[in-house]
């Protein structure tokens, strides 16, 4: 559907006319609603000027002789006069300099008279007093000459005012015509309506302080009437002003009526056609801006529309449309239309606004981030302030060269050190950034220099720590890859060996020519290898479940002493057959702890079996259980049959054995399972190797 642009233009024009009428009422209503010409601001200003001038110029002019009688000369006046142009020697030197190149007799005589006059000023007070008296009298005469000139101007420019006034104090009456009821304007001054009260000093131009002091701050009060005749209004000097006011008042009411009609038409059309102000393409672009940008645009368009409407008021009301720039109403219409469009768009989308995407919110977050490190924030603010005032001081040198006296030491002591400090920090920061980029690319050679104790230095130290952790992580990753390869190899070997035996002896059993003894022997081997394979798979599943935490513990109050005794007793027959000497040290008192008895028995069982398999024959095995500081500590140690190597922690890896040739029947998961069970109980299992001495310490909280 074609966009109804004409209707929108008409609605916008009506909105402009409505604004025009509204602001005409707001700006000019006080001047024209229920007012006449004599209520206007312009006439009231003229009346106020008339009142403030008629008293000192006509009604209460001071007597010049009385003012002269009040003249006095003080000691301060004498001193001021003497030193007005400097000290005695300074004034004499000035006179000599003025006549330095004039050598004729007349000039020399004139110079000597001036020097004698100046010298006498500093010798004779009475001589100076006479000169000051003459000077003050001249100022008074100059003031009264000004009064006379201003009086003539005042009477000529205010001849339409008729007054009949009487001094309230002296009773003296002043009048310049007859005041009657036919006057167009009349103002009465009385005790009820207020006296005409003004200062008797006429303040015009630079009034000497001496005159003000001599006359005094006196006020005169008058009662009576001031009026303006109808004749002067209709045919005198005020005719144009009067007609101008009446014309403006008629235009004002006309604009008011047109504005009301336009407002009614705007409301009716807006209700029917407001949906037309949903121009989709423009609205989509508009809604992409942050909400505070949209609101700013909205208020700017309102401001421009109002400003244009008020500009039109000035041209229409005061210049009667003369020289009105056509661009002004066009701007008003465009921005009013834009305001209406934005209003509909904002109303439609205000409920779905993401305020966190606004510029103000992002600026606030930026400022919040600026103060995350207060040291950097404070240093940055100080540097910005110093640089600002340094630049301001430099600019100040052009209009005020004397400021260089302050600028040079401030530059040397503050400006240059701050600049060097800033540049050094920026240089150091750049070096840190370069090193950071190298780290991001995987280049980890060389540590970042940690210089000083600044936040940047602290950041460099953190990056070095991160670099060390990355190196450590790489080492761990390499180790993990190696152990994963070994795990696959070990699992493959340990599972394939019994499986191969099972397949081989199964094939032999298929042979019908074997004897019963051979068959029984093969079956026994199959049973042993099957149980071996079952044990491997069960241990693998169990350690996997423990590693993932997918196991539940049935914790109960258990006597660890009794549990250890049972575990040893379970393997007593194997212990007796072994070539090992077990030295067991267990206290008689029970050591209680909350554990899963079955799982904890598995820990003890695995550790005892580990000694039976990997302890060197004809050596001792030590087993201890003690209560120390509220913790149960179980220690088992033996001499290893095989060389353990340097990394003791690898013994807890899955399928890892001390017997690297893998001639023993173990699964390689015993220590890994034991460690997982202990960690599930919030305990610790720690292994130590000293040469061939292998020691395991298990710690758990006792109750």
Q: How far apart are CA 518 and CA 496, in angstroms?
A: 24
Query: Greater confidence, 96 or 470?
Result: 96
Tens-digit pLDDT profile for residues 249-302:
888 898 899 989 999 999 998 888 877 776 667 777 877 778 878 888 889 988
- Number of Cβ within a 10 Å radius of residue 510: 8
pLDDT recorded at residue 338: 84
pLDDT recorded at residue 260: 93
For the entire predicted model, the pTM comes to 0.47
Ranges of beta strands (E only) in 340-491 are none
Of these ranges, 170-184, 445-459, 468-482, the one predicted with the greatest mean pLDDT is: 170-184
Question: What's the CA dihedral at 200, 202, 206, 211 to 10 degrees?
Answer: -30
Mean pLDDT of 531-559: 77
State the residue for tokens 């008020």: 310
Q: Nearest to residue 588, comparing CAs of 555, 615, 625, 558?
A: 625
Query: Greater confidence, 276 or 339?
Result: 339
Percent of the chain clearing pLDDT 90 (strictly above): 27
Mean pLDDT of 482-503: 71
CA 659 and chain centroid, separation? 67
Say if residues 16 and 265 touch (Cβ distance below 8 Å).
no
Q: Residue 474: which H helix or E strand, with range?
A: helix 455-509
Say if residues 213 and 145 touch (Cβ distance below 8 Å).
no
pLDDT recorded at residue 195: 94
- The CATH code of the domain at 553-701 is 3.30.565.10
Tens-digit pLDDT profile for residues 230-245:
877 877 667 888 888 8
pLDDT recorded at residue 351: 61
Say whether pLDDT at 551 is over 70: yes
pLDDT recorded at residue 405: 87
Alpha helices, DSSP H only, in 33-168? 41-54, 64-69, 75-82, 88-98, 105-121, 125-157
Q: 38-47, 78-87, 407-416, 662-671 — which is least confidently predicted?
A: 662-671
Question: Where along the chain do its domains lie?
Answer: 5-30+238-361, 35-234, 371-440, 553-701
Say whether pLDDT at 662 is over 50: no
Report residue 10 as tokens: 């008409």
Q: Nearest to residue 611, comparing CAs of 673, 548, 537, 670?
A: 670
Confidence class for position 627, pLDDT limits 50, 70, 90:
very high
């Amino acid at each position: 559907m074609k966009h109804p642009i004409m209707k929108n233009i008409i609605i916008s024009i009506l909105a402009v006319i409505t604004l025009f009428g509204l602001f005409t009422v707001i700006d000019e209503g006080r001047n024209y609603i229920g007012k006449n010409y004599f209520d206007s601001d312009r006439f009231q200003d003229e009346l106020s000027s008339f009142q403030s001038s008629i008293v000192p110029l006509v009604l209460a002019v001071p007597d010049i002789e009385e003012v002269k009688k009040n003249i006095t000369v003080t000691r301060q006046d004498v001193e001021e006069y003497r030193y007005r142009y400097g000290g005695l020697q300074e004034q004499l030197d000035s006179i000599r300099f003025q006549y330095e190149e004039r050598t004729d007799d007349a000039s020399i005589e004139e110079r000597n008279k001036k020097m004698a006059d100046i010298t006498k000023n500093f010798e004779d007070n009475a001589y100076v007093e006479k000169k000051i008296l003459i000077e003050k009298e001249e100022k008074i005469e100059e003031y009264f000459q000004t009064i006379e000139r201003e009086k003539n101007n005042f009477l000529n420019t205010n001849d339409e005012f008729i007054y009949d006034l009487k001094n309230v104090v002296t009773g003296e009456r002043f009048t310049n015509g007859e005041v009657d009821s036919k006057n167009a304007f009349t103002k009465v001054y009385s005790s009820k309506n207020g006296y005409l009260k003004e200062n008797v000093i006429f303040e015009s131009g630079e009034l000497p302080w001496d005159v003000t002091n001599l006359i005094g701050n006196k006020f005169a009060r008058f009662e009576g009437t001031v009026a303006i005749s109808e004749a002067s209004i209709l045919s005198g000097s005020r005719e144009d002003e009067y007609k101008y006011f009446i014309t403006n008042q008629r235009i004002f009411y006309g604009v008011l009526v047109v504005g009301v009609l336009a407002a009614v038409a705007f409301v009716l059309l807006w209700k029917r056609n407001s949906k037309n102000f949903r121009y989709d393409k423009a609205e989509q672009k508009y809604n992409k801006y942050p909400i505070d940008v949209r609101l700013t645009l909205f208020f700017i368009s309102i401001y421009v529309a109002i400003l244009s409407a008020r500009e039109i008021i000035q041209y229409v009301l005061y210049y009667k449309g003369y020289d009105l720039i056509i661009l002004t109403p066009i701007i008003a219409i465009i921005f009013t239309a834009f305001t209406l469009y934005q209003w509909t768009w904002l109303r439609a989308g205000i409920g779905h606004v993401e305020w966190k995407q606004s510029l103000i919110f992002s600026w606030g977050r930026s400022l919040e981030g600026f103060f995350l490190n207060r040291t950097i924030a404070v240093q940055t603010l100080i540097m910005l302030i110093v640089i600002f005032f340094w630049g301001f001081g430099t600019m100040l040198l052009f209009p005020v060269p004397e400021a260089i006296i302050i600028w040079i030491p401030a530059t040397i002591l503050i400006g240059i050190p701050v600049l060097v400090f800033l540049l050094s920090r920026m240089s150091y920061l750049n070096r840190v950034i370069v090193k950071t980029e190298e780290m991001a690319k995987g280049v980890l050679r060389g540590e970042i220099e940690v210089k000083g104790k600044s936040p940047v230095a602290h950041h460099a130290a953190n990056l070095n720590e991160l670099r060390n952790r990355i190196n450590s992580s790489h080492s761990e990753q390499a180790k993990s890859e190696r152990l994963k390869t070994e795990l696959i190899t070990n699992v493959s070997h340990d599972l394939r060996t019994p499986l191969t035996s099972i397949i081989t002896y199964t094939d032999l059993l298929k042979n019908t020519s074997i004897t019963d003894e051979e068959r029984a022997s093969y079956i026994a081997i199959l049973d042993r290898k099957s149980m071996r394979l079952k044990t491997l798979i069960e241990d693998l599943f169990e350690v996997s479940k423990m590693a993932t935490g997918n196991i539940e513990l049935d914790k109960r109050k258990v006597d660890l002493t009794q549990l250890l005794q049972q575990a040893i007793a379970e393997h007593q027959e194997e212990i007796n057959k072994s070539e090992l000497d077990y030295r067991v040290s267990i206290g008689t008192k029970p050591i209680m702890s909350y554990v899963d008895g079955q799982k904890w028995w598995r820990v003890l069982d695995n550790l005892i079996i580990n000694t039976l398999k990997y302890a060197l024959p004809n050596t001792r095995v030590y087993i201890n259980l003690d209560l120390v500081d509220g913790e149960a500590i179980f220690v088992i140690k033996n001499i290893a049959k095989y060389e353990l190597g340097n990394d003791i922690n690898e013994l807890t890896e899955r399928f890892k054995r001390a017997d690297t040739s893998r001639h023993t029947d173990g699964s390689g998961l015993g220590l890994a399972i034991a460690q997982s069970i202990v960690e599930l109980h919030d305990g610790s299992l720690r292994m130590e190797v000293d040469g061939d001495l292998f020691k395991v310490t298990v710690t758990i909280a006792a109750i």
